[in-house]
C-alpha cells in the first residue's frame, strides 16, 4: 500500500503533471464545470423558469465539444467528462421543460378552467 502511495506522490511531483496543471488542457475544463453544475442545481427549481431554446443550445454545444474533446490529441478526458455531464443535465432539463409545457400543460389548463367555474358559482 505504501508503495502505491509513494508512486502517486512521485507522479504528482513530476514535471509533466505540473505542466499539465498549468495548461489550458486542465484549466479550460475546470472553468467549464460551472455550466453543468448550474444545470444540476437548477433541477431543483420550478420548471417554469427553464428556457427551451437555451437548453437546446447548451445540449448541442456540449455534444459538439464532447466530440472535440475526444478527437483532439492528446484526448482531453476532463473536458469530455464535463460536457458529458452537461449533456445529461441539459437533457434532464429538456425533459422537464417538455413535461411542464407540453405534457402537463393540458392538465393544468383543465384544472384552471375547473377551478374558475367552481369559484364563479
For 32-74, what is each residue's pLDDT tens digit?
999 999 999 999 999 999 999 999 999 999 999 999 999 999 8
Q: What is the pLDDT of residues 101-115, one digit of tens each?
A: 999 876 665 666 666
pLDDT of residue 109: 58
- Residue 23 is placed in which grid cell? 495548461
- Determine the average pLDDT of the residues in 71-80: 92
Q: Provide the 10 A C-beta neighbour count for residue 89.
A: 23
Max CA separation in the chain (angstroms): 80
Global confidence as pTM: 0.74
Residue 23 DSSP one-character state: S
d(CA 60, CA 2): 45
Q: 13 φ, ψ to 5°?
A: -85, -5
Query: In this structure, are residues 88 and 35 in contact, taking their beta carbons and an 8 Å threshold?
Result: no
User: Can you give the pLDDT at residue 115?
Assistant: 66
Can you say how many angstroms the Cα of residue 82 is from the centroid of all Cα atoms in its chain? 7
DSSP conformational letter for 102: I
Query: Confidence class of residue 98 from pLDDT cuts 50, 70 and 90?
Result: very high
Amino acid at each position: 500500500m505504501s508503495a502505491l502511495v509513494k508512486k502517486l506522490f512521485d507522479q504528482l511531483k513530476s514535471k509533466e503533471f505540473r505542466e499539465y496543471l498549468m495548461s489550458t488542457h486542465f484549466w479550460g475544463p475546470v472553468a467549464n464545470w460551472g455550466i453543468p453544475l448550474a444545470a444540476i442545481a437548477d433541477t431543483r427549481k420550478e420548471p417554469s423558469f427553464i428556457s427551451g431554446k437555451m437548453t437546446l443550445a447548451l445540449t448541442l454545444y456540449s455534444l459538439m465539444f464532447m466530440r472535440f474533446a475526444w478527437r483532439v490529441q492528446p484526448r482531453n478526458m476532463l473536458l469530455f467528462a464535463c460536457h458529458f455531464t452537461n449533456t445529461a443535465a441539459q437533457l434532464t432539463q429538456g425533459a422537464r421543460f417538455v413535461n411542464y409545457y407540453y405534457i402537463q400543460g393540458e392538465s393544468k389548463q383543465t384544472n384552471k378552467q375547473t377551478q374558475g367555474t367552481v369559484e364563479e358559482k
